[in-house]
Amino acid sequence: MATDDTEPGSRRPYLIRAICDWAIDNHLTPQLLVNVAVRGVDVPREFAEDGQIVLNVSSQAVDDLEMGNEFISFSARFRGVSRPVMVPVSAVIAVFDRETRQGMSFESMPSDDKDEGSLEELAPRGKPTLKLVE
């Protein structure tokens, strides 16, 4: 029986941490694509586009990074102003490295104000698609 990414015991937080670790080990910049409309997402919304935000989670970009099984939290500077960030793991659409855009996408969780869409509909416009790292 497959584990759903929304229930306890989800693989999603482990895969997010693993891909971030892989990126760091390879001197790449780990990033998260987050659906800002999911309940519990606390990010500077003025930096979101099309209901999404890309967050750099490298040690150079964030302080106090906590990658738990339910939430990812840290503080980061946005235009020079330190801001707290809290993201439910279920709101992470994809995890990838900035340089090669390789990583993993996840099934989108329904948001509070729009229907669930495919990764192609949710991916930032004008950017390359993500590749699954096997």
Tell me the β-bridge partners of 66.
73
Question: Residue 107: what pLDDT?
Answer: 80
Which residues constitute the domain of residue 117?
A: 12-132
Residue 7: HSE in the Cβ half-sphere, 13 Å Cα cutoff: 4
- Is 6 within the bounds of a domain? no
7 occurs within a structural domain: no
Has residue 20 been placed in a domain? Answer: yes
Provide the number of structural domains found in the chain.
Answer: 1
Residues 6 or more apart in contact with residue 134 via CB below 8 angstroms:
none
At 4, the pLDDT band (50, 70, 90 cuts) reads very low
54 pLDDT band, cuts 50/70/90, is very high
Q: Is residue 93 part of a domain?
A: yes
In a domain, 2, yes or no: no
List, in order, residues 6 or more apart from 119 with CB less than 8 Å away: 93, 94, 105, 108, 129, 130
Per-residue pLDDT of 57-111, as tens digits, reads 999 999 999 999 999 999 999 999 999 999 999 999 999 999 999 999 998 655 5
Q: Is residue 126 part of a domain?
A: yes
What is the Cβ-side half-sphere exposure of residue 116, based on CA atoms within 13 angstroms? 8
Amino acid at 52: Q
CATH of the domain at 82: 2.30.30.220
Amino acid of residue 31: Q
Question: Between 1 and 126, where is the model more confident?
Answer: 126
119 assigned to some structural domain: yes
**In this predicted model, which residue has the larger pLDDT, 11 or 113?**
11
pLDDT of residue 10: 85
Q: Does 87 fall in a domain?
A: yes
Q: Residues of 34-70 as b/e, b for ≥16 C-beta within 10 angstroms?
A: bbbbbeebebeeeebeebbbbbebbeeebeebebeee
